[in-house]
A and B are shown apart, each in its own frame.
Chain A
Amino acid sequence: MDLFEEKEIIEKAKKNPEVFGLLYDKYYQPIFSYVLKRTANIELTQDLTSQTFFKALTKLGTFRWQNVPFSSWLYRIAGNEIANHFRKNKYRVVSLEKIPTLVSSSNPLTEIIKAENELEKQKDFLSIQEKISKLPFKYQEVITLRFFEKKKIKEISQILGKREGTIKSLLHRGLAKLKTFIT
């Protein structure tokens, strides 16, 4: 889908739930993955992803096309929801609570348990994510988008609404600070 097509679809999505559903189907997983890489918590990721899409829907009526991908706008909302959540909940928790095993394989809770187990296996990622999470938000965002989401500088600049020079500078400073946590 090119930008022009996307623009047309967004205008239709403002009034048509089925068309909005198409946008949702396309961007749900990228947003979910991004939030997961920022928070490393399945339950929180579900809630923040829900909040992101509800907020996007609420603001869709006033969304003005600015010739950047719709996904950039969604990423920005997700980033804001993450920041708002952690500003309100300033505490650190060490371990995840175990969820009891259920029998049915089609049950949503079983899916969550499987996801938690899968996440727990990603030890390298979890280790570095824990260190990234200690950085100021502005560095967390650029590092996650650049290295985990594999976004280019131009894309990050569109998402965060900052100049490319600023993004490069944030990356450099963020990495310098991250190094101090690793060494």
Chain B
Amino acid sequence: MEEKDLIKKLENIKVPEIEIKGHKKELKVALLNSDYFQKRDIFQVFKKSLAVLVPVLALLLLLGFNIIEPKLAEANALRLAMNNPEIKRLMEEKNMVLSEVKVSGEKAYVLLKPQEKVESGQEKDSSIKIEKAKENEIEDIEGAIIEISLEQKEVTKIDPIEWEEVAPLDDNEKEKAKEIAKENEILRDFIPKEARLEKIKSSLPSKINLIAEDDKAKVIPQHNTEKIAKIHYTLEGKEWVVKVDLVKKKVEEIKYSLKNQNFKGRNNQ
């Protein structure tokens, strides 16, 4: 075959002109609600930087002043936690902070929880955070109690907090969560109506306290005015987890993972 014949063949081939409106719409929602536009607010960026710097500075101050032993023990525990690679990863990747330390005997307990949202009043009421989760990470760790041995000077346990066991939702609360989700327009566009509701469970509130006694630790809510539900949907290998604030009656976050990446491509490069 001559090159000019091949060129003619290529120029005359009918190419597919295919549109997938659902995907176009879904992707647009995800892009416009992504972190990029939230983070463009310099004030937000400044406040977030401050929220990270303050505990570090507080730790340095604590160590620098060398105060009473219990305080030193707490500071040491905090330092050991911050140097642990797994905890560092959780803090960086999941935007978590070490917020409280309690000493009980030869052990210390440190609370790892999500960074609190700084409400500047500039966020739209209707804004929803939409995030794509990596495979197997859609059921994310919400928080953890870190156990540290002060004698051995090491982290001995990282216990994820399962809030459903601490404060489960009752049937009324579950129904309320379903209603709020059902009425949300963005959710209706984002999740196909054929998706199956797998479970609803309570999610860790932002304001919690750590309690430690008799070599054990647990978390309790600071007050009962926060109630968050997580609703899990699935369909054909896709998963969505929707976070609903039952007090504010709004959808706060949608996390999704796409079908697993078994592509049947025709390109073998």
**Docked-complex contact A118 and B18, CB < 8 angstroms:** yes
Compute how far the CA of A108 lies from the CA of B236 in the bound complex, rounded to whole angstroms. 12
Compute how far the CA of A115 lies from the CA of B20 in the bound complex, rounded to whole angstroms. 7
Known A-B contacts A15-B40, A86-B267, A104-B193; A37 and B16 likewise in contact (beta carbons under 8 Å): yes
Among B24, B26, B30, B258, the one with the most A-chain Cβ atoms within 10 Å of its Cβ is B24
**Docked-complex contact B268 and A148, CB < 8 angstroms:** no
Q: Which of A110-129 contact B (CB under 8 A)?
A: 111-112, 115, 118-119, 122, 124-126, 128-129
Q: Which residues of B contact A2 (CB under 8 A)?
A: none
Known A-B contacts A14-B40, A107-B192; A129 and B269 likewise in contact (beta carbons under 8 Å): no
**Docked-complex contact B265 and A44, CB < 8 angstroms:** yes
B37 at the interface (CB under 8 A from A): yes
Q: Looking across the interface, which residue of chain A has its beta carbon closest to that of B189? A: A108
Give the interface size bracket for B toward A: 35 or more
Known A-B contacts A38-B267, A125-B16; A43 and B259 likewise in contact (beta carbons under 8 Å): yes
B-contact 0/1 string along A90-109, CB 8 Å cutoff: 11110111000010100111
**Docked-complex contact A41 and B264, CB < 8 angstroms:** yes
Contact residues of B: prevailing secondary structure:
loop
Q: Which residues of A contact B28 (CB under 8 A)?
A: 21, 24-25, 28
B32 at the interface (CB under 8 A from A): yes
**Docked-complex contact B1 and A32, CB < 8 angstroms:** no
Other A-B pairs, 6, CB within 8 Å; known A122-B14, A124-B13: A32-B19, A42-B18, A89-B263, A89-B265, A118-B18, A125-B13
**Docked-complex contact B264 and A137, CB < 8 angstroms:** no
**Docked-complex contact A179 and B16, CB < 8 angstroms:** no
**Docked-complex contact B14 and A104, CB < 8 angstroms:** no
Give the interface size bracket for A toward B: 35 or more
Q: Which of A28, A82, A90, A130 has a CB less than 8 Å from the CB of B266?
A: A130
Q: Which residues of A contact B36 (CB under 8 A)?
A: 57-58, 60-61
- Which residues in B have some Cβ–Cβ distance to A below 8 Å? 1, 3, 6-7, 9-11, 13-24, 26-28, 30-32, 34, 36-37, 40, 192-194, 236, 258-259, 261, 263-269
| 12 chain-A/chain-B pairs, Cβ below 8 angstroms | A29-B19, A32-B19, A46-B23, A50-B27, A50-B30, A90-B269, A93-B264, A118-B16, A122-B14, A140-B269, A148-B13, A179-B6
Min distance, Cβ A172 to any Cβ of chain B, angstroms: 8
Min distance, Cβ A4 to any Cβ of chain B, angstroms: 24
Q: Looking across the interface, which residue of chain B has its beta carbon closest to that of A87? A: B269
Compute how far the CA of A82 lies from the CA of B22 in the bound complex, rounded to whole angstroms. 22
**Docked-complex contact A179 and B3, CB < 8 angstroms:** yes
Q: Which of B7, B23, B264 has a CB less than 8 Å from the CB of A96?
A: B264
A53 at the interface (CB under 8 A from B): yes
**Docked-complex contact B266 and A126, CB < 8 angstroms:** yes
**Docked-complex contact A17 and B269, CB < 8 angstroms:** no
Compute how far the CA of A174 lies from the CA of B31 in the bound complex, rounded to whole angstroms. 36
**Docked-complex contact B265 and A143, CB < 8 angstroms:** no
**Docked-complex contact B266 and A39, CB < 8 angstroms:** yes
- Which residues in A have some Cβ–Cβ distance to B below 8 Å? 14-15, 17-18, 20-21, 24-25, 28-29, 32-33, 36-44, 46-47, 49-50, 53-54, 57-58, 60-61, 82-83, 85-87, 89-93, 95-97, 102, 104, 107-109, 111-112, 115, 118-119, 122, 124-126, 128-130, 133-134, 136-137, 140, 143, 147-148, 172, 175-176, 178-179, 182-183
Compute how far the CA of A42 lies from the CA of B1 in the bound complex, rounded to whole angstroms. 31
Min distance, Cβ A152 to any Cβ of chain B, angstroms: 13
Compute how far the CA of A117 lies from the CA of B194 in the bound complex, rounded to whole angstroms. 22
Q: Which residues of B contact A14 (CB under 8 A)?
A: 40
Q: Which of A49, A54, A133 has a CB less than 8 Å from the CB of B268?
A: A133
Compute how far the CA of A107 lies from the CA of B250 in the bound complex, rounded to whole angstroms. 25
Q: Which residues of B contact A175 (CB under 8 A)?
A: 3, 6-7
Min distance, Cβ A109 to any Cβ of chain B, angstroms: 7
Compute how far the CA of A66 lies from the CA of B100 in the bound complex, rounded to whole angstroms. 50
Q: Which residues of A contact B14 (CB under 8 A)?
A: 122, 124-125
Min distance, Cβ B265 to any Cβ of chain A, angstroms: 5
